[in-house]
Amino acid sequence: MNKEFARYDLDDALISRLLAKALGRGGDYADLFLENQVIRTLRWEEGGVKSAGTSLNQGVGIRVLAGDKTGYAYACELDERTLLRAAETASHIAVNGGGVGVAALQGGTLPQHYPIERPAEEVDLNSKVVYLRRIQEAADTADPGVSKVLASFMEYTRKITVANSEGALYRDTQPMTRLGCQVILERDGKREAGSAADGGRVGLEFYDRVTPESLAQESVRMAQVQLEAIDAPAGNMPVILGPGLSGVLLHEAVGHGLEADFIRKRTSKFTDRLGEAVASDLCTIVDDPTIPNDRGAINIDDEGTPVRKTTLIERGVLRSYMHDRISAAQLGVEPTGNGRRDSFRSHPLPRMTCTCLLPGESSVEEIIGSVKKGLYARIVGSGAVDITCGDFTFNINEAYLIEDGKITAPVKGATLVGNGPEVMGRVTMVGEDFTISPAIWTCGKRGQKVPVNHGQPHVKVSEITVGGSSTGRSADER
């Protein structure tokens, strides 16, 4: 295993020549992004490893900025002729001629946000097959009604080199692993699924703590709860969001709208609102790429800007957007290190890393006890947002009724819908139990997928629309 079957890396002199070529027709700035990502996957199905896979994703992206315009080209081959042609293609965006030169490249050192003891790529695949077998056994043991178990292990190592015409040169190696499980549980002619996964920029030591057994048991538990679930209510009501996973609220309700490409184009609901209240004063929200081993952590962004924790909202007041180079230059601020891309095929966009709502002062008992009739969302799933009008939605996959301050019957999956600033303004309690979500989140924007994460404590939203199917009203006549 681990044979190098592909060339990786370009020498600094060639990088300089490519940047010079990219600026050959003018332009204000050029950068180069070299990526070599090796992904390995094991898929477990029907009681065994169904298939093993390796993917090599390697190439170079070259970008030229000329005023507000972007020229972009990429290539998968690393020979000089192909790369010079890509640089030439990207250069066509500039028409003014002349322009800036290329500064001497100077390597920079980076912080290390992903310290690892046992890198997955250095450990034989057999030990990961064992994880999958342990999932199958634990699921079978947990409930005799388990009829299917799907499991998977994924690991990748993404080596990137970012260099630009201002002389910055950074190299980073970004690891990622993920262990996931899905079960089907059948009982009395009814069938439900449950699933769980975790990982991050972690080595195999992580799975000593989050064990295959714990993921299998959680999946079975979820399916068991669903078998008992009654119809979810429909309409507006108080909703309490559990800790961790439900941070997807932040991602959809405010996060995307604060990505500054939408701000510079004035197409986000949050345009021109710095210094204004955009959430209740219980909300302090940060984007933090520095949390060790987090799925959203990075040491450097994908356009060579050092990363930092950014306070987006402080006690409800909007303090900062998330910037890439272009939006920062247009809006006259420093880039925040949020310029990310899914691969060398794409130019960077402002993206989130790990978005967190900082803890408040309420205890969980207080929060739940405060609701007479409402919903408790324990496990939530994917969401979406219309950044322009601010409407967002996300799924609730495991939820319970709250009646007279107590969690009662489980309800079927549903979806929530609301408007970002409106719903954030209705955050009336924030728990003290801050929790980072399991590492399951991938954010899609303009077709580009990047790993992200989020975290939050228990949160009470005083009113939001719940898309259940139980209204208690009769059908209208048509």
Partner 1 sequence: MSGKMNMAKALLRAARRAGAEEADLMISGGSELGITVRMGELDVLEEADAGVVVLRVFKERRMASISATNLGGLDPELFAEEAVALSAFGEPDEFNRLPEAELYATEFPELDLVDETTLPTTEQGVEMARSAEAAALDADRRIDNSQGGLFSRNSGEGIYLTSNGFEKVRNYTHFMLTTVPVARDSADGLVTAYWTEGRRHSADLPEPAEVGRRAAERLLRMLDSRPAPTGEFPVIFEGVSTASRLLRILFGAAAGPAIRRRQSYLIDRLGDRVASDLFTMVDDPHRLRGYGSRSSDGEGLPCQRREVVTRGILNFTPTDVENARRLDIPVTGHGNLGGGVSASNLYLEPGELTPEEIIASVKRGLLITKTLGNGNLNNNTGHWSQACEGLWIEDGEIAYPVSKVTFAGSMDDILGGIDAVGSDLDFNRGSACSPTLRVRSLTLAGS
Beta strand ranges found along 434-478 (DSSP E): 442-445, 448-451, 453-455, 459-467
- Minimum gap (Å) between residue 246 Cβ and partner 1: 14
In this structure, the strands spanning 146-164 and 106-107 are unpaired
- Minimum gap (Å) between residue 170 Cβ and partner 1: 22
**Which of 11-19, 111-119, 273-281, 416-424 is the region at the interface with partner 1 (rule: CB under 8 A)?**
416-424
Is 197 a binding residue for partner 1 by CB under 8 A? The answer is no
Is 97 a binding residue for partner 1 by CB under 8 A? The answer is no
- The Cα–Cα gap between 11 and 303 comes to 18
In this structure, the strands spanning 234-241 and 373-385 are parallel
Is 130 a binding residue for partner 1 by CB under 8 A? The answer is no
Least Cα distance to 322 among 307, 340, 335 occurs for: 335
Is 363 a binding residue for partner 1 by CB under 8 A? The answer is no
Q: Around Cβ 214, how many Cβ atoms within 10 Å?
A: 16
Beta strand ranges found along 228-280 (DSSP E): 234-241
CA dihedral 140, 146, 148, 149 (to 10 degrees): -40
Tell me, what DSSP letter sits at residue 113?
A: S
Class of residue 91 by CB neighbours under 10 A (exposed 0-12, middle 13-18, buried 19+): buried
| Cβ nearer to partner 1, comparing 204 with 358 | 204
Is 393 a binding residue for partner 1 by CB under 8 A? The answer is yes
Is 109 a binding residue for partner 1 by CB under 8 A? The answer is no
| Cβ nearer to partner 1, comparing 61 with 457 | 61
The torsion angles phi and psi of 269, rounded to 5 degrees, stand at -55, -25
Q: How many CA atoms lie within 13 A of 58 on its CB side?
A: 18
- Minimum gap (Å) between residue 135 Cβ and partner 1: 14
- The Cα–Cα gap between 340 and 353 comes to 9
The CA–CA distances, whole Å, from 176 to 179, 239, 283, 337 equal 11, 33, 30, 20
| Cβ nearer to partner 1, comparing 41 with 173 | 41
Is 56 a binding residue for partner 1 by CB under 8 A? The answer is yes
- The Cα–Cα gap between 149 and 8 comes to 38
Is 204 a binding residue for partner 1 by CB under 8 A? The answer is no
CB 221 within 8 A of CB 192: no
| Cβ nearer to partner 1, comparing 2 with 363 | 2
Task: Figure out which of the listed residues 417, 428, 432, 433 binds partner 1, where binding follows CB under 8 A.
Answer: 417
**Which of 106-114, 206-214, 234-242, 367-375 is the region at the interface with partner 1 (rule: CB under 8 A)?**
234-242
Task: Figure out which of the listed residues 9, 47, 96, 272 binds partner 1, where binding follows CB under 8 A.
Answer: 47
| Cβ nearer to partner 1, comparing 226 with 336 | 226
- Minimum gap (Å) between residue 361 Cβ and partner 1: 30
Q: Around Cβ 77, how many Cβ atoms within 10 Å?
A: 14
Is 330 a binding residue for partner 1 by CB under 8 A? The answer is no
| Cβ nearer to partner 1, comparing 212 with 289 | 212
Is 142 a binding residue for partner 1 by CB under 8 A? The answer is no
**Length of the chain as a residue count:** 478
**Which of 12-20, 187-195, 272-280, 297-305 is the region at the interface with partner 1 (rule: CB under 8 A)?**
187-195
Task: Figure out which of the listed residues 12, 28, 50, 213 binds partner 1, where binding follows CB under 8 A.
Answer: 50
Which token pair is 330? 């247009």
Is 191 a binding residue for partner 1 by CB under 8 A? The answer is yes
**Which of 54-62, 103-111, 282-290, 313-321 is the region at the interface with partner 1 (rule: CB under 8 A)?**
54-62
**Which of 102-110, 169-177, 262-270, 355-363 is the region at the interface with partner 1 (rule: CB under 8 A)?**
262-270
| Cβ nearer to partner 1, comparing 267 with 442 | 267
In this structure, the strands spanning 48-66 and 29-45 are antiparallel
| Cβ nearer to partner 1, comparing 113 with 323 | 323
The residue count for binding partner 1 (CB under 8 A) is 99
Task: Figure out which of the listed residues 131, 156, 394, 441 binds partner 1, where binding follows CB under 8 A.
Answer: 394
Least Cα distance to 287 among 352, 342, 336, 243 occurs for: 352
- Minimum gap (Å) between residue 411 Cβ and partner 1: 11
Instruction: Write b or e for each residue in 344-366: b if 16 or more Cβ atoms lie within 10 A of its Cβ, otherwise e.
Output: bbbbbbbbbbbbbbbbbebeeee
- Region 457-476 residues binding partner 1, contact defined as CB under 8 A: 465-471, 473-476
Is 221 a binding residue for partner 1 by CB under 8 A? The answer is no
Amino acid at 21: K
Task: Figure out which of the listed residues 119, 369, 381, 405 binds partner 1, where binding follows CB under 8 A.
Answer: 381
Is 397 a binding residue for partner 1 by CB under 8 A? The answer is yes
Amino acid at 419: N
Is 107 a binding residue for partner 1 by CB under 8 A? The answer is no
3-state helix, strand, coil in the chain (%, to 5): 20, 40, 40
**Which of 24-32, 43-51, 213-221, 433-441 is the region at the interface with partner 1 (rule: CB under 8 A)?**
43-51
Chain centre to alpha carbon of residue 225: 27
**In which residue are the tokens 């990075």 written?**
298
Task: Figure out which of the listed residues 143, 155, 172, 192 binds partner 1, where binding follows CB under 8 A.
Answer: 192
